[in-house]
Amino acid sequence: MTETSSMKAMTWRGGNNFTSDQLEIPQVIDKTCLIEIDTAGICGTDIHITQGLFPSPENVVLGHEFSGKVVDVGKGVDKNLLNQSVTAQPVGGCGLCESCEKWSLSHCEKNKRRAGAFSEYVLVDEKGISVIPDNLSIQNAALTEPAACSLSCVEMLKKPLPTSTAVVIGNGLLGLSTIYFLKEMGIDKIISSEIAESRRNLAKLFGSDITIDPTKTDLAEVVETETNGYGADIVAEAVGNPNVIKNCFELIRPRGQMLLVGVHPKGSYLPFDLHDLHFKEISIFGASGAGNSFKRALNHLPNMPLEDIISGRYPLEGLPQAIEKSANAEGIKFVIGPND
């Protein structure tokens, strides 16, 4: 690769504005790899950023869910990675700093995120990279990061897990993978609530035992019947809507656990009585990003029913349309193929 070679990238300029730019292809430095992007997914966070609901600096290339091929490696990187199909955690984590040790690899103080994946190439730290297993397509491997966000959240639950009932509200990709991981962890009965019929059908494939449409069925009544009036052991909110949190609280049994899987707009506050929270002894957990769960999530992906998860693929310049489609919840996951 010559120093003059350039690449296309979509730069976010605030609001719904993106510009298609020619940028220099990043040069590898020690312990980094250059990846030619195959697939980059649109995340709910990207939508929130364009809507001003998630803090982000402007004039940056977004995109943190991706897969591709290693086309160059820096000093200190295993040369066998060259030409391998890989996916990567945007921040790999040094594993040694205070944040890596006591928070998670996603929040590493040293190993910062380098660039975004809505471009033809991206530079990533070797530590974040995972080779894609043979039984997973390169396109579906771009689902590792969002699946890892759910897994990281589910892994927050206090162990041992109760073997009874969990409720998962919202069955987009985060909700679907939450259902899958809860089932994998041994939860007996999963009740899921979702307005879109196509998503309810997917919820069954991912392991939901009872799927309801909350516009037609009263979720609280179903939970009451299915738990003999005690409430669910675990309630996961995978919508990112503060109004839904109030309902979650009412569905949960004493000593139950609440999971905040969805990303809430900054400035949202708990909408329920703190006396009740104290009295019912409820624990609330959330996780931000893939945390320490990226590689474990990748190992699960080949076994997950991913056939109908990618709802549309767009060229790089189609990014604004793909974000609009995602914002309208017209499918599950829209992706960009920057080198298509």
Q: Which of 100, 167, 223, 252 binds Zn ion (CB under 5 A)?
A: 100
Task: State the Cα–Cα distance between residues 264 and 242, nearest whole angstrom.
Answer: 7
Task: State the Cα–Cα distance between residues 15 and 21, nearest whole angstrom.
Answer: 17
Q: Which amino acid is at 51?
A: Q
Rg value, the chain, Cα? 20
Nearer to Zn ion by C-beta: 189 or 295?
295
Task: State the Cα–Cα distance between residues 221 and 214, nearest whole angstrom.
Answer: 11
Binding residues with Zn ion: total (CB under 5 A): 8
Q: Quick check: helix, strand or coil at residue 49?
A: helix
Q: Which of 108, 132, 113, 110 is nearest to 123 (CA)?
A: 113
Q: Which of 61, 97, 222, 284 binds Zn ion (CB under 5 A)?
A: 97
- Residues of span 56-95 touching Zn ion by CB under 5 A: 65, 94
Nearer to Zn ion by C-beta: 249 or 294?
294
Q: Quick check: helix, strand or coil at residue 320?
A: helix
- Residues of span 104-133 touching Zn ion by CB under 5 A: 108, 110
Nearer to Zn ion by C-beta: 104 or 247?
104
- Residues of span 149-178 touching Zn ion by CB under 5 A: none
Of all residues in the shown chain, the one whose CB is closest to Zn ion is 43
CB of 174 vs Zn ion, minimal distance in Å? 9
Nearer to Zn ion by C-beta: 167 or 306?
306
Nearer to Zn ion by C-beta: 177 or 247?
177
Site membership for Zn ion, residue 43 (CB under 5 A): yes
Where along the sequence are the contacts to Zn ion (CB under 5 A)? 43, 65, 94, 97, 100, 108, 110, 146
